[in-house]
Amino acid sequence: MNLTIAIDGMTLRFFLLLLAGHILSDFFFQSSTIARNKGRSIKSLLQHGLWTFVVHSLVIFPFWSGLILISMFALALVHIGIDWLKPRIYGNEGKSLLGFSLDQGLHLSTLITLAWIVSSAEILHTELLSAENLDSFTRAMVILGGFAFNGKGGTAVVRLILGRFPDIGASLREARSSAYAMGLMIGILERFILFLMVLMGHWGALGFVIAAKSIARFKELDEKGFADYYLIGTLSSVLVALLSGVTVSLLLGLL
């Protein structure tokens, strides 16, 4: 593969927009019902494929052309194929963190492959935005994708990690159903704040956010089962926010 093609500025921006479109369609615009049923329901799978096509087509609008939109349709078909194969290949393992990582890795590889194919075909042109506005739009989409991942994506990752302790999790959800629901929202807000702080370079604020959350739960930490479960969930949530924040910062640095 020609190195100049791989690092071409237009290709890079196209790939980053594809990546943002994937995250938005796979996490923000995918309902819980579709996510739960797409492995066994053709209707849910096709609905997800439609959202994948629509979101990607909107996000890459600076590069709109007939061939580009056809490539978005092909991407949606491949996405549907991967999601259909996932439960049939991994079975119950597909609901593990490893299955989640492999699934996202396959989707990422299709985005890289598509960006390379489109770049090689020399059909990447943008007349809708100036170079400066294209960079601003790409940055906005990448950051928006980062927030989308820290929302539903981060919740999925933390749940998969905590899923390794089903007995403790089930008992806590039953005993504190309302508190558990609020905890999910707190986790999302926590990741949003930490993600934003990383992007802004305010690393010193991270400890304050974590400390404030711990103080609010101070009395409950006397119960060992809850304390361990809480600590694993919090550290997992923080790790998701930090890694996604660093990744987005590095991607923005390429522009």
Give residue-wise pLDDT tens across range 52-101: 999 999 999 999 989 999 999 999 999 999 988 887 776 655 567 888 88
Give residue-wise pLDDT tens across range 2-27: 433 345 788 999 999 999 999 999 99
Q: Where are the domains of the chain?
A: 3-128, 157-251
- CA dist., res. 166 & res. 163, Å (int): 5
Q: Which pLDDT value is given to residue 1?
A: 36
Q: What is the pTM of this model?
A: 0.85
Q: Which pLDDT value is given to residue 55?
A: 96
Q: Are 146 and 242 in contact (CB under 8 A)?
A: no
Q: How confident is the model at residue 220 (pLDDT cuts 50, 70, 90)?
A: low
Q: How confident is the model at residue 204 (pLDDT cuts 50, 70, 90)?
A: confident
Average pLDDT for 159-166: 79
Average pLDDT for 145-161: 91
- CA dist., res. 121 & res. 150, Å (int): 34
